[in-house]
Amino acid sequence: MTQVEFLKMVEPFKDKVFRLAKRLLVSREEAEDATQEILIKLWNNKNQIEQYRNIEAFSMTMTKNLCFDKLKSKHSQNLKIIHNNYKDNHITLQNEIELKNSVDWVAKLMEDLPDQQKIVMQLRDIEQYEFKEISKMLNIKEATIRVSLSRARKTLRSKLIKIQSYGVG
């Protein structure tokens, strides 16, 4: 497999790998390192890679496992929280501030979710994977995924309502 063929193969999902790593590791730098590490592992095993039917799902599983390993290590205590914001030039400054505040709160509240709920919400709501794909990636039943997602959404919703109503976290 040539380098061009490899790049064509990983191009469609490399951003998803980064976003999952960013969600789990929080730090942009750590997520970039994890993404690079995954791509290097894929490149080093490029001759065996074609045996996997869904390379994207395999890559996402690798990313999840690598991130959890990093979080378990001692240096994970030093990770910085860095948030990127969605910007829309067609909204007022007040709306932009409120949007940024809401996005920041959702990101912060997602970090407090249990690991399974956090990763399921990232894969389903942000990366838009189907339940069947998530089931394969995480090796858990679709019903379990639906319950985790429902609980995560309910928790976030109730905490956001509390914050927006009373200004407390």
Pair 78, 134 in one domain: no
- pLDDT value at residue 78: 45
Question: In the predicted model, is pLDDT for residue 41 greater than 70?
Answer: yes
Q: Using alpha carbons, select from 50, 33, 38 the residue that is nearest to residue 14.
A: 38
Q: pLDDT tens-digit profile of 54-79?
A: 888 889 989 988 888 887 774 444 44
Pair 3, 77 in one domain: yes
DSSP-assigned letter for residue 37:
H
- pLDDT value at residue 82: 36
Q: Cα separation of 108 and 152, whole Å?
A: 13
Report the Cα–Cα distance between both ends of the chain, in Å, rounded: 52
Which one of 82, 110, 142 terminates a domain? Answer: 82
Q: Using alpha carbons, select from 71, 73, 63 the residue that is nearest to residue 32.
A: 63
Q: Contact, 23 vs 44, CB < 8 A?
A: no
- pLDDT value at residue 84: 40
Q: Tokens 């976290």: give the residue.
A: 169
Q: Contact, 121 vs 113, CB < 8 A?
A: yes
Pair 69, 96 in one domain: no
> Which range (10-14, 29-33, 93-97, 162-166) has the least confidence?
93-97
Pair 127, 58 in one domain: no
Question: In the predicted model, is pLDDT for residue 161 greater than 90?
Answer: no
Whole domain around residue 146: which residue ranges?
Answer: 90-169
Task: Give the chain's domain count.
Answer: 2
Return the higher-pLDDT residue of 42 and 97. Answer: 42
Pair 67, 95 in one domain: no
Question: In the predicted model, is pLDDT for residue 98 greater than 50?
Answer: yes
Q: If you count them, how many residues does the chain have?
A: 169
pTM for the whole thing?
A: 0.55
Query: In 3-state terms, what secondary structure has residue 141?
Result: coil
Question: In the predicted model, is pLDDT for residue 36 greater than 90?
Answer: yes
List the structure tokens of 161: 């309502």
Q: pLDDT tens-digit profile of 131-141?
A: 999 999 899 99
Average pLDDT over residues 15-19: 93
Which one of 54, 82, 110 terminates a domain? Answer: 82
Pair 72, 107 in one domain: no
DSSP track, 81-123: P-------TTS-HHHHHHHHHHHHHHHHHHHTS-HHHHHHHII
List the structure tokens of 156: 């976030």
